[in-house]
Structure 1
Amino acid sequence: MAKILRALSNDKNIAIFVMESTDIVEEARKIHNLPPIPTAALGRLLTAASMMGVMLKGEKHTISIQISCTGVLKGLVAVSDSKGNVKGYVKNKNVLTEINEAGKLNVKGAIGEGTLTVIKDLGLKEPYIGRIELISGEIAEDITHYFALSEQIPSAVALGVLIDKDESVRSAGGFIIQVLPETRPDIILNLEERLKSFSNISSILAENDIVDIVTELFGDIEYEILDEYYPKYKCDCSKQKVESIIPLLTDDEISDGKIEIVCSFCEKKYYFTREEAFKIKYGSK
């Protein structure tokens, strides 16, 4: 079962979010029938979106993270609600497995250059939109850069997906650490030193509980675990919601007969007859 812990230092200067997301990433892999590199890339983005989702204040608030890129993946999308329930997809999943010089899946190469866009729907007239240029294609580094540039929050982000020999997800998860500017420099240095032992977060998650990871990250800093979340891979699509695509079709496309629309997030198929489609597009015809 996927789980997120939100912890805060007693002086309220350091917030840490740690997530174990294996079940969610494996569910995404199965739904989209993903090979290893798309699984690893989407799994990292789903994990980040889920943790950023629980940072939202309102129950109906949502966050969307979109990566548009020049690499073979073409782009990725992940959407989360304020409970961390998340969904997502990769624009191109037909990607061959490639190993980088470090002996790991070459997610960075599959993403390439591009932009990362964060959209927060906070129930206002207009959503908040923050956009940055990708600095590396390593999603954790790009999310860290987003926090620093768009939200002016010094952060450290780690994301990982460990793929098993049968291409299933052995472990997945990550953490986000955020530090207030008034935190003492020596505390930050100690925290940075501890982070060096977390370079392979997916392997650590395969053998450790996230409660232990929170404890290790804080070290001798006193803290309290404030919240526990149990998010799922969750798509809220419906036939009514996908109707919005019908007006974008030409009359010739509608006249061809039965129309099939596939949800990008869960692969569920919805069908519309010619009569239904024309009624949606024109009111009646």
Structure 2
Amino acid sequence: MREDYAVRATAHGGTLRAFAARTTELVKELQRRHHTWPVATAALGRAVTVGAMMGLMLKGERDRLTIQIKGNGPLGQIVVDADSRGHVRGYVDNPAVDLPLNDRGKLDVAGAVGEGMLYVVKDLGLKEPYRGSVPLVSGELGEDFTYYFTVSEQIPSAVGVGVLVDRDGSVLASGGFILQVLPEAEEETIARLEERIAAMTSVTDRIQAGAAPEDLLREVIGEDVQVLQRQPVSFDCSCSPDRIRSLLKSMGKEEISALLQKQGKAEVICHFCSERYVVEREELEKWLGEMK
């Protein structure tokens, strides 16, 4: 098993900023937890791969970001949560979506996502979070994030992400890259970069063949790559029995009483990790007795 990780790098004298990630094990874990069918696995996998790389763009240890992809396709909403330490989680509203392959014989991620909006919210420890949004331009997600960075954050970018799913639905490879051109970049550098991106083979084929994130960057940029940071990437969910109990207690006496009458207990399933938490009648009744 190869370790999942992401890298942050620069090239061409600091005029190019680059990120790359291998997320195969992360996507396997999300597939296991959410029981996603192939097209949902591909869509969620692409989104969490971008989320993992965007986590490297955060500077503060407690900074985090949320990605919401709200399309009108059968997948419904895709949500990804990531932080600066390589912790990523995510879910899709409808994991059991099955569509015919597209015209290129590939999983029809665009058809599953549909038309809609891409939202990014960054909690940077300020009074108000940063919020950015753009319309989805293709639903393939790589192109949509390219558009987001270029329009919302005003950084000309190229995003390539992919998830390779086997015939039996298992995840063979997942990863991607983000390239961002800074204002000082020369036109010749940009032109060469565009040529190399166009000539690059499938990201997932390269990862399946053993390519590391650094290899992806060297293939698309050249040997002039200086890696500044290497960050392990893994699934992580912040839910816990204590947090769920605190959430339930905050509902108040009337809602807890209603739960007791209707269900005889409280049951909560976390969207992000699918863990099931149950608080039995005796504990709920004890809470009610303690409330004024």
Aligned CA distance change for structure 1 residues 237 and 104 (closer, same or farther; 3 Å): same
**1:188 paired residue number:** 190
Alignment of 1:48-63 (within 5 A): 48-63=50-65
> For structure 1, which runs of at least 5 residues remain unmatched after alignment?
none
**1:270 paired residue among 240, 252, 277:** 277
> Residue deviations 1:201-255, cap 9 Å, x none?
11122112332222122225x2311111111011121123334356295743342
Task: Answer with 22-31 or 250-259: which moved more.
Answer: 250-259
Identity level (%) = 41
- RMSD of aligned alpha carbons: 2.0
**2:214 paired residue number:** 211
Q: Secondary structure at the match of 2:238?
A: coil
Q: Provide the C-alpha distance between the structure 1 equivalents of 2:213 and 2:277, rounded to a whole number of angstroms.
A: 39
**1:94 paired residue number:** 96
Q: Provide the C-alpha distance between the structure 2 equivalents of 1:89 and 1:171, rounded to a whole number of angstroms.
A: 19
Aligned CA distance change for structure 1 residues 123 and 278 (closer, same or farther; 3 Å): farther
**1:252 paired residue number:** 258
Task: Answer with 252-261 or 125-134: which moved more.
Answer: 252-261
Q: Secondary structure at the match of 1:116?
A: strand
Aligned CA distance change for structure 1 residues 226 and 98 (closer, same or farther; 3 Å): same
Q: Provide the C-alpha distance between the structure 1 equivalents of 2:288 and 2:125, rounded to a whole number of angstroms.
A: 28
TM-score normalized by the length of structure 1: 0.93
Task: Answer with 120-129 or 170-179: which moved more.
Answer: 120-129
Q: Are the equivalent residues in 2 in contact too, given 1:36–1:97 (CA < 8 A)?
A: no
Q: Provide the C-alpha distance between the structure 2 equivalents of 1:9 and 1:228, rounded to a whole number of angstroms.
A: 16
Q: Are the equivalent residues in 2 in contact too, given 1:7–1:16 (CA < 8 A)?
A: yes
Q: Are the equivalent residues in 1 in contact too, given 2:200–2:219 (CA < 8 A)?
A: no
> Residue deviations 1:119-138, cap 9 Å, x none?
11111122111111111111
Aligned CA distance change for structure 1 residues 189 and 235 (closer, same or farther; 3 Å): same
Aligned CA distance change for structure 1 residues 282 and 71 (closer, same or farther; 3 Å): farther
Q: Provide the C-alpha distance between the structure 2 equivalents of 1:9 and 1:117, rounded to a whole number of angstroms.
A: 29
Alignment of 1:106-185 (within 5 A): 106-185=108-187
Q: Provide the C-alpha distance between the structure 2 equivalents of 1:200 and 1:282, rounded to a whole number of angstroms.
A: 61
Q: Are the equivalent residues in 2 in contact too, given 1:49–1:86 (CA < 8 A)?
A: yes
Task: Answer with 232-241 or 142-151: which moved more.
Answer: 232-241
> Residue deviations 1:44-79, cap 9 Å, x none?
000000100111000010011011111000110011
The alpha-carbon deviation at position 198 of structure 1 amounts to 2.8
> For structure 2, which runs of at least 5 residues remain unmatched after alignment?
none
**1:34 paired residue number:** 36
Aligned CA distance change for structure 1 residues 233 and 190 (closer, same or farther; 3 Å): same
